[in-house]
Amino acid sequence: MTFDDVKGMQIAYEEALAGYNEGGIPIGACLIHEDGRIIGRGHNMRVQKGSMTLHAEISCFENAGRLPASITSKCTLYSTLSPCTMCTGSALLFKIPRIVIGENKTFIGGEDWLAKNNVELINLNDQRCKDIMTKFIKEKPELWNEDIGE
């Protein structure tokens, strides 16, 4: 774990918390360049924007603006939760070489697909990330099921 990993997961968690406080789904993400620059950050906007596609990672990429893969291929993607198939596919499209997640106890997304494509995946097993999802799912199980297509 690097210094940037601590910073990246802190920002992703702050994004998740912001989502929770907005009445949304508390999953956050952050994109940090290998030179240390924060390229983007965002959180799930299903409730806030009535959007199916703005998962935390997509929201983060969207907030980062229009970037070529020459930049995104030098970034680490941070997410408080294991990325779903859509977000996994976006990371592959943008040639993200390294993904750091808060946890995968709540949900396991496309981890096998990342491994197959040699994307490094690090699970920080972060208690804050697990706790906020446990609390949220207990409060709004139907919203969580909707977000993962159940």
Binding residues (CB under 8 A) for a copy of itself: these are: 46, 50-54, 58, 61-62, 64-69, 72-73, 84-90, 92-95, 110, 113, 146, 148-150
Beta-sheet strand order (sheet of 38-43): 38-43, 28-33, 75-79, 98-101, 120-123
Q: Residue 91 CB, nearest distance to a copy of itself (Å)?
A: 8
Q: Residue 92 CB, nearest distance to a copy of itself (Å)?
A: 4
Residue closer to a copy of itself, measured from CB, 61 or 78 = 61
Residue closer to a copy of itself, measured from CB, 14 or 113 = 113
Q: Residue 122 CB, nearest distance to a copy of itself (Å)?
A: 20
Tell me the sheet residues that pair with 42: 29
Residue closer to a copy of itself, measured from CB, 35 or 65 = 65
Give the DSSP H or E segment for 29. Answer: strand 28-33
Number of H helices, E strands in the chain: 8, 5
* Separation between Cα atoms, residue 15 and residue 29, nearest integer Å: 7
Q: Residue 123 CB, nearest distance to a copy of itself (Å)?
A: 20
Residue closer to a copy of itself, measured from CB, 9 or 84 = 84
* Annotated catalytic residue within 14, 15, 22, 57: 57
Within 8 A by CB and 6+ apart from 101, the residues are 78, 79, 80, 81, 82, 83, 121, 122, 123, 124
Is 14 one of the catalytic residues? no
Tokens for 3, please give them.
Answer: 């210094």
Instruction: Give the active site residues.
Output: 57
